[in-house]
Amino acid sequence: MTSDVTIVGAGISGLACARALHDAGRTVRVLDRGRRPGGRLSSRTLDGRPVDLGASYFVVGDDDRFGAVVADWERRGLARPWTDTFQVIQDGGRPTPKTGPLRWAAPKGLRSLALDLADGLDVTSEHTVASVAPYRVDDAPAGEVVLALPAPQAARLHDPVPGAVQDWEPVIAVVLRWEARRWPADLHGAFVNGDPDVAFLADDGDRRGDGVPVLVAHTTGDRARRHLEDPDAAIAPVLAATRRLLGIDADPVATYAHRWTFARPAETTGEPFFRSPGLSACGDAWGQSSSVRTAWASGDALGRALAAG
């Protein structure tokens, strides 16, 4: 039997959309080419513990609907308040603290939040979709179709891409593990401005709450573009930059690199989602700014709109 809605993409936006439809009594299936749900809420188990490779944190802000979801995650131990203070490293200078919104993290990795959203839903992983059209996926009836994936990936499935076309920035996430912490305990995370190699640093043990001496560095877009075919080649320059920026005097004992060809949109549409008969779209390229909260809100809003008919 054909579902009311078929969603392509099991990141947080697609899962939020599916959850809203499911809760409204609609039948929905989610198709994703990845091994597990999560998309850019990606965590990988390295040395026996999850390390966040995609999104670094999330912010609740004034979104009451998302706030209720996060409150439930916190109650069940899936999410934890992390910090409201990051460091800013400007043009290679000394880190200086900057207070901002409260950032949240997940003790078991951010993917665990996606898996929680997926619980009880009809999600098929390792399923590669070749084409979509209004009410059809791979030339088969599919009900309403939702594309919940970056526009460059959506363009491979349908031309033109539903909604606005966005340029996307690549990132390579580099995991660096030491035997002991060699940076200040109050680092938490750092925005890096003016460096050609590193744009952001996160103390993964600090955000996870287990204190393991692991840093995750996100490259600049320029550095990522040089190494999309060989992400491991980004490790050496990123390590050198990280040691220089934080004054670390030793090499790590383990490293790992993960490529995100489409990590974040260069700009957003300002609209909550795109909807047209039979073929709609949602994700973090919609809304006012790209973020985990934006992705969830986009999918949730589209799901409620589709459920309302």
Segment 197-247, tens digit of pLDDT = 999 999 999 999 999 999 999 999 999 999 999 999 999 999 999 999 999
Domain residue limits at 247: 56-109+167-266
Query: Same structural domain for residues 147 and 236?
Result: no
Task: Centre a 10 Å sphere on the Cβ of residue 75 and count the other Cβ atoms it contains.
Answer: 9
pTM recorded for the entire structure: 0.96
Residues 213 and 306 in one domain: no
Contact assessment for residue 22 and residue 121, using Cβ atoms and an 8 Å cutoff = yes
Same-domain pairing of 116 and 157: yes
Can you read off the two tokens belonging to residue 46? 């390295």
Same domain, 257 and 217: yes
Measure Cα distances from 198 to 9, 57, 97, 222 in Å. Answer: 29, 17, 18, 10
Q: Are residues 261 and 152 in the same domain?
A: no
Q: Is the dihedral of CA 186, 189, 191, 196 positive or negative?
A: positive
Residues 186 and 235 in one domain: yes
State whether 259 and 220 are in the same domain. yes
207 in the same domain as 287: no
> Is the domain of 194 the same as that of 135?
no
CB 185, CB 207: distance < 8 Å: no
Pair of tokens at residue 25: 């009594």
- pLDDT score of 159: 82
Percent of the chain surpassing pLDDT 70: 99
Same domain, 94 and 32: no
The answer to whether 258 touches 172, Cβ cutoff 8 Å, is: yes
Does residue 68 share a domain with residue 3?
no
User: Which CATH number characterizes residue 4's domain?
Assistant: 3.50.50.60
Domain count for the chain? 2
